[in-house]
Structure 1
Amino acid sequence: MKVTRITPFIGVEITGADYADLARPEVWDEVVNGVNQHELVIVRGIELTPQQQIELAARLGRPVPFVISKYRHPEFEEIMISSNELKDGKPIGVARVGNFWHQDSSFVAEPAPYTMLHGLNVPSTSGHTKFANAADVYDRLPEEWKARLADRIGVHTVAKRLRIRPEHVGLSVAEFKALIDIEHPKVQHPLIRKDEFTGREYVYGSREYMDSVLGFDLNENEEFFALLDRLIHDEEHVYTHVWSPNDLVIWKTVTAYHVATEVEPGVGRTVHRVSIESAEAEVRPVEEKVQ
């Protein structure tokens, strides 16, 4: 088994490990600390049953049943199936998920702290996942912006990305917006936060999951979002994960910006996703083991 840094700014990769290896406490400690200290861990090519994925997730915290029941795994409600594939002519999962830069579930008051994906049918030519570190984004903010944002509050919402369902047909735009505010009320988070594991400050928010910054006018909000987009999209500070079969990918939701790239036409892609809340992970430095 080998543990290596992926980039200077985000990620640790583990190769040569199987499920039995991860079951060993000292190996699992490296996984947990890798996520907490470097935001992202990739375990390459590890064969897992759905049950084993749930068991690993439960060692980080509490796996959460996916909110939309029809996209849950038929045996394990905690697994959301992200897939563009069909079975008996029907979708087996959600075809388009996370195809915009975001931090998972920032639009709720207490987002689950970890996300875990296991790649089942994954092409190497498309359908990649890109990652950026929110602490690295903060470090690259101009000093005047660090001062402007220091005590600001971000207003988060899912409204920009909410999908229109059949029951919404016939609603006016105003009625639909009012329904969103009732079903998915906006939440507020400090825009600049400090990571509990690394002590680094990071930006908490993204254009697609935010309504605005409190106290900013329309021009100031657009100026902020444009700056944030430039920093997140900077390819010199982005890690692109090219999937290989059975990759296990775990990230810290508040600090790992990510986006799923498009899957080329006619190519199938299926991954199993687990959201993990109420984690209580002990921090143990493992830097000396990372090459």
Structure 2
Amino acid sequence: MRINELTSFIGSEMLDLTYEELATDEVFGKFTEILRQRELVVVRGIELKPRQQLELAQRLGRPVPFLMAKYRHPEIPEIMISSNEVKNEKPIGVARVGNFWHQDSSYVGAPAPYTMLHGVNVPGTSGHTLYANAADVYDRLPAEWKAKIAGRTALHTVNKRFRVRAEDVGLSIAELRAKVDLEHPKVEHPVVRVDPDNGREYLYGAPEYMDSVNGFDANENEAFFTLLDQLIQDEARVYTHRWTPNDLVVWKTATTYHAATAVEPGVSRTVHRISIASDER
């Protein structure tokens, strides 16, 4: 087993591991320690059956089935299939997921603390995943903005990313927004939080999932969101994960911003995703 830091600011990789080796108490304990301190862990090229991926996820907490049953793995409902592949004239998974900067599910009251992906069929030339450390983003925030957001909360919402469905056709914009707010009520989270794993302050919230910072006027919200986008997307502080077959990637959802990039036309890509809803053992 070899362990390397991916960057100075986020992530480590573990190499030369089999499932049986990773599943031992000693190695999985090291995996968990790295995850909690480095936000992101990549286990390179580890062959996993879907059941084995689930068993690893269960070591971190409680995996939950994906909401849309048609995109669940046929044998393991806790696995969501993220794929652009089509079989028997039907898509086998969700083709476009998370192609914008975000922290997973911040629009709910208690987001899952971990996300786990396994690269089943991944191109090396596109379909990368980008990662940024939310504590690093906070550290780079100008002092005047740190003072402005201290002690504040923000409203989070999914309505900026809501996709119109067949049953929504004919609704006015106002009616559609009201429907989304009813189905997915806005939730409130502190803008600055402390990571219990390492004591670092970090920013919680990305503009695509944030409605507004409480106490800010429209101009202040716009200025803050613009600055936040710039800090998150600073190429010098972003880790680009270029997938190789059987990569296992796990991250802490609260402290990790991430975004998917496009898959080039004509290229297939399938990833198995598990959302781990609680880290209580």
TM-score by length of 1: 0.95
Q: Cα distance, 1:201 vs. partner?
A: 0.1
- Counterpart of 2:76 in structure 1 is 76
Q: Cα distance, 1:157 vs. partner?
A: 0.3
- Counterpart of 1:256 in structure 2 is 256
- Counterpart of 2:233 in structure 1 is 233
Question: Following the alignment from structure 2 to structure 1, what is the Cα–Cα distance between the partners of residues 252 and 278?
Answer: 13
Question: Following the alignment from structure 1 to structure 2, what is the Cα–Cα distance between the partners of residues 22 and 280?
Answer: 20
Amino acid at match of 1:47: E
Question: Following the alignment from structure 1 to structure 2, what is the Cα–Cα distance between the partners of residues 217 and 85?
Answer: 45
Does residue 30 (structure 1) correspond to residue 33 (structure 2)? The answer is no
Amino acid at match of 2:84: N
Instruction: Name the % identity.
Output: 67
8 A Cα contact 2:100 2:260, kept in partner? yes
8 A Cα contact 2:71 2:92, kept in partner? yes
Question: Following the alignment from structure 2 to structure 1, what is the Cα–Cα distance between the partners of residues 75 and 169?
Answer: 32
Question: Following the alignment from structure 1 to structure 2, what is the Cα–Cα distance between the partners of residues 163 and 19?
Answer: 38
Q: Cα distance, 1:34 vs. partner?
A: 1.0
- Counterpart of 1:160 in structure 2 is 160
- Counterpart of 2:50 in structure 1 is 50
TM-score by length of 2: 0.99
Amino acid at match of 2:184: H
Map 1:263-282 → 2, pairs under 5 A: 263-280=263-280
Q: Structure 2: which 5+ runs fail to align? A: none
1:66 is paired with a residue whose SS is coil
Cα displacement string for residues 36-57 of structure 1 (whole angstroms, at most 9, x for unaligned residues): 1000000000000000000000
- Counterpart of 1:220 in structure 2 is 220
Cα displacement string for residues 144-195 of structure 1 (whole angstroms, at most 9, x for unaligned residues): 1111111111110000111111111221211111111110000000000000
- Counterpart of 1:93 in structure 2 is 93
Q: Structure 1: which 5+ runs fail to align? A: 282-291
Amino acid at match of 1:234: D
1:59 is paired with a residue whose SS is helix
Amino acid at match of 2:148: R
- Counterpart of 1:116 in structure 2 is 116
Question: Following the alignment from structure 2 to structure 1, what is the Cα–Cα distance between the partners of residues 113 and 132?
Answer: 16
1:271 is paired with a residue whose SS is strand
Does residue 140 (structure 1) correspond to residue 140 (structure 2)? The answer is yes
8 A Cα contact 2:102 2:257, kept in partner? yes
Amino acid at match of 1:119: G
8 A Cα contact 2:62 2:280, kept in partner? no
Amino acid at match of 1:2: R
Q: Cα distance, 1:276 vs. partner?
A: 0.2
Question: Following the alignment from structure 1 to structure 2, what is the Cα–Cα distance between the partners of residues 22 and 57?
Answer: 12
Ranges of 4+ aligned residues in structure 1 off by more than 2 Å = none
Amino acid at match of 1:61: G
Q: State the Cα RMSD in Å.
A: 0.8
Q: Aligned pair count?
A: 281
Q: Cα distance, 1:280 vs. partner?
A: 3.3
